């Protein structure tokens, strides 16, 4: 058996065959006996109350078992505090079927439970609802005057509010040699993962349930269910090994979970509730945001004044926030800054994190503004960023734990051929198409939070590691297996990683690009603890070759322990287990970050994107012909799955810049394109030459593995680079995303 380091090896997904052959089961696919199906009924008004909910005809449909609404739902604790779920913002979480009040369009107001899905859906269409409507407000742009500062809460721990003003921005801006003031508008976006939200609740008896759920956090749903329904945590098991995309939509429990569990507990039956595609638009979204920037710079290219203001939407019940305006002074330090972030309460569902929340919004405004200043000063956009390069985070007066953004610039520019670029706008053509090149910086926080893992060497000398963490398609199963295999020097085929089950050790929700670093550190720690136990047993063996050796004097490889420098002296893991009477060896480890050490540093991943576009001069159609993204994100565990993550972010950047938006009729307060036919995303023909570079970066501060995470960093720099490339091609700056062809005609 050959031994080699698993970390850094481009390993294919271990679950890949299960997925492509259809053997992997998702939340709505489990074969459960005696299964009832539920279908939610959604409000057709935006604000008001239900006067009458007539279920008479629906209840007469053969196969209908029950219809739940505010009229007959069971009494519930409805715990209303921060631990209702792990991602709750300040305010009062939405409670399905609580009462007759309607607070947003599409709000679930009932759920039909029937013998099959088709019957439930048909019966739902027969329910007659009489409403009393009230005036509502859904348009952000018309209500900016109502903006206010967000409420403070635990959410600000992970999403810090803007720092206080520094220096004298107004004076510095007035005295600047070059200035740019811009308004940037970002519309609503919805996540639209391929897998629909579904929950299959199996009633085990005596109030115990097993729930197969589409989620980004099994423990999070377990906490939610136990709190809402007053159950013991031990009586609630949530299973979610395969997730068909999340992008943030599964961070908080969605209402189909509540309905499935409620019906199962009340009817003492197995119940599945699945949302259809249109219903996927009835919870959570990236919020509408209006930004204004005012940047000033000196003649030599040094940024002297930064003002960045963002006003975003939130619901009437919670203060959802994002980190939108904090980035500029971290990337391009100025002595005079004024950063503001405000919210407007609208009659919509609470927004929810969507891949690179806040960063993908704020960096567009920042990077477009920097681009404008570079042109005004007649300085190359890349050179302008290098002039303002931050060696230290002046916004918090802390050093970076590591930062190789400058190397991202160098390698990305070289690969792209940035030096060959004609600096003049509208200067390069291919036939009837204008050609432009643009670039952008990217930055994303590295979050360090606790997690736990268990490791076991079984009777056969194989390694089993457990964590409740989900794998939302990012390759978590594979990289955790690699980390575990590396820790004990084992072949990856001798390691099993069990995950996606709330009965396993506690894991945070999977999001924020922190899973590999956070859970990976716990897995690594558990394996290191097990390693010490294995070695301790090996030393106690009769005639042990390690009786006088320290653990530093041996190496673990090929399922055995070897004395360094003398491979003839070894003990296999199977022999160790035999020494232990055939019983497995176990160890667990909680990854508790050293907060006192970490808070001394700013921790972030960085990227640089370089993009070429072609713009049809007659039609205004934009095509991204090629792009390069260079990423510095610490140690890369699996270059193959990591590359896929960055490529996915780049594709989403194309979507954000040119395609993706949810359109609302503000007279109705209703989203008008809740389907994949009219909610436009890129298709294969839109994607061309995309390249990814991983820049070497060592970080001994963030965690034992030196891992930063890459889920978001590939997205944040892509859309701004596209917008800047369009400006270079056309000479026209369009600051509303997505950029439609009619704006370029």
Phi then psi for residue 424, to 5 deg, are: -75, 140
What is the secondary structure of 301-312 as a DSSP string? S-EEEEEEEEEE
Pick from 142, 141, 146, 150: which is nearest to 183 by CA? 141
CA distance 697 to 256: 43
Pick from 193, 192, 195: which is nearest to 24 by CA? 195
CA distance 303 to 172: 10
Do 282 and 540 form a contact (C-beta atoms < 8 A)? no
Residues forming the active site: 712
Do 511 and 48 form a contact (C-beta atoms < 8 A)? no
Pick from 293, 287, 280: which is nearest to 244 by CA? 280
Q: Is the peptide bond before 308 cis (omega within 30 degrees of 0)?
A: no
Per this entry, what is the length of the chain? 745
Pick from 293, 324, 289, 291: which is nearest to 181 by CA? 293
- Cα pseudo-dihedral 682, 680, 476, 634, rounded to 10: 60
Give the other-Cβ count within 10 Å of 571's Cβ. Answer: 22
Q: Is 476 helix (H, G, I), strand (E, B) or coil?
A: helix
Question: What are the C-alpha distances in Å from 219 to residues 104, 121, 320, 644?
Answer: 28, 30, 22, 27
CA distance 530 to 517: 20
The strand pairing partners of 442, in sequence order, are 607
Q: Where are the alpha helices (DSSP H) in 48-142?
A: 56-59, 117-125
Pick from 453, 497, 471: which is nearest to 26 by CA? 471
Report the number of secondary-structure helices (H) and strands (E) in the chain. Answer: 18, 31
| Biggest CA pair distance of the chain | 85
According to DSSP, the β-strands at 428-430 and 128-133 are: unpaired
Q: Is 398 helix (H, G, I), strand (E, B) or coil?
A: strand
The strand pairing partners of 452, in sequence order, are 590
């Amino acid at each position: 058996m050959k031994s080699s380091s698993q970390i850094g090896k481009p390993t294919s997904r271990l679950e890949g065959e299960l997925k492509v052959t259809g053997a992997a089961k998702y939340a709505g696919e489990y074969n459960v006996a005696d299964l009832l199906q539920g279908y939610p009924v959604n409000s057709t008004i935006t604000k008001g109350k239900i006067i009458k909910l007539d279920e008479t005809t629906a209840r007469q449909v053969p196969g209908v078992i029950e219809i739940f609404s505010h009229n007959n739902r069971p009494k519930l604790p409805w715990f209303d505090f921060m631990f209702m779920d792990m991602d709750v913002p300040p305010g009062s979480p939405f409670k399905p079927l609580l009462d007759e009040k309607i607070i947003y369009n599409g709000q679930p107001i009932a759920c039909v439970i029937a013998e099959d899905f088709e019957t439930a859906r048909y019966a739902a269409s027969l329910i007659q609802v009489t409403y009393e409507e009230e005036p509502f407000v859904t348009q952000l742009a018309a209500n900016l005057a109502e903006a206010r500062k967000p409420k403070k809460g635990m959410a600000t721990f992970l999403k810090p509010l803007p720092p206080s003003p520094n220096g004298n921005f107004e004076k510095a801006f007035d005295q600047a040699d070059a200035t740019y003031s811009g308004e940037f508008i970002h519309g609503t976006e919805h996540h639209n993962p391929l897998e629909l939200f579904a929950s299959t609740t199996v009633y085990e008896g005596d109030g115990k349930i097993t729930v197969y759920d589409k989620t980004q956090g099994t423990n999070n749903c377990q906490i939610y269910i136990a709190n809402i329904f007053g159950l013991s945590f031990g009586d609630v098991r949530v299973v979610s090994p395969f997730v068909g995309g999340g992008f943030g939509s599964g961070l908080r429990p969605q209402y189909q979970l509540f309905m499935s569990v409620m019906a199962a507990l009340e009817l003492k039956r197995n119940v599945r509730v699945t949302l259809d595609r249109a219903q996927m638009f009835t919870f959570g979204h990236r919020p509408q945001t209006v930004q204004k920037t005012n940047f000033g710079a000196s003649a030599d290219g040094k940024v002297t004044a930064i003002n960045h203001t963002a006003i975003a939407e939130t619901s009437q019940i919670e203060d959802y926030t994002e980190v939108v305006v904090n980035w500029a002074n971290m990337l391009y330090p100025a002595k005079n800054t004024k950063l503001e972030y405000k919210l407007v309460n609208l009659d919509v569902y609470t927004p929810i994190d969507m891949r690179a929340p806040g960063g993908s919004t704020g960096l567009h405004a920042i990077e477009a503004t920097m681009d404008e200043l570079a042109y005004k000063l007649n300085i190359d956009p890349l050179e302008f960023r290098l002039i303002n390069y931050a060696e230290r985070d002046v916004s918090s007066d802390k050093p970076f734990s590591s930062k190789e953004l400058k190397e991202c610039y160098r390698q990305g520019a070289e690969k792209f051929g940035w030096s060959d670029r004609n600096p003049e706008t509208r200067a390069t053509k291919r036939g009837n198409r204008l050609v432009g090149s643009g670039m952008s910086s990217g930055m994303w926080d590295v979050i360090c939070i606790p997690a736990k893992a268990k490791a076991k060497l079984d009777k056969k000398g194989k390694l089993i590691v457990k964590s409740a963490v989900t794998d939302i398609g990012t390759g978590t199963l594979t990289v955790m297996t690699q980390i575990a295999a590396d820790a004990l020097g084992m072949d990856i085929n001798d390691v099993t990683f069990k995950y996606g089950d709330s009965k396993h050790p506690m894991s945070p929700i999977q999001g924020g690009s922190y899973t590999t670093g956070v859970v990976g550190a716990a897995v690594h720690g558990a394996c290191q603890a097990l390693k010490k136990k294995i070695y301790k047993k090996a030393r106690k063996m009769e005639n042990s070759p390690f009786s006088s050796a320290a653990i530093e004097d041996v190496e673990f490889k090929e399922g055995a322990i070897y004395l360094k420098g003398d491979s003839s002296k070894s003990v296999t893991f199977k022999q160790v287990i035999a020494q232990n009477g055939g019983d497995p060896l176990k160890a667990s480890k909680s990854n508790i970050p050293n907060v006192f050490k970490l808070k001394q540093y700013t921790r972030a991943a960085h990227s640089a994107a370089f993009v070429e576009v072609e713009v049809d001069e007659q039609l205004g159609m934009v095509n991204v012909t090629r792009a390069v993204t260079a990423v510095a994100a610490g140690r890369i565990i699996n270059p193959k799955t990591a590359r896929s993550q960055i490529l996915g972010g780049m594709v989403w950047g194309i979507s954000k810049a040119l395609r993706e938006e949810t359109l609302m009729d503000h007279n109705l307060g209703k989203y008008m394109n809740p389907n994949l036919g009219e909610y436009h995303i890129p298709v294969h023909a839109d994607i061309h030459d995309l390249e990814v570079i991983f820049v070497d970066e060592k970080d001994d501060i963030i965690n034992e593995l030196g891992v930063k995470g890459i889920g978001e960093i590939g997205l944040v720099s892509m859309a701004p680079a596209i917008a800047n490339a369009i400006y270079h091609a056309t000479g026209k700056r369009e600051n509303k995303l997505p950029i439609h062809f009619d704006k370029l005609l």
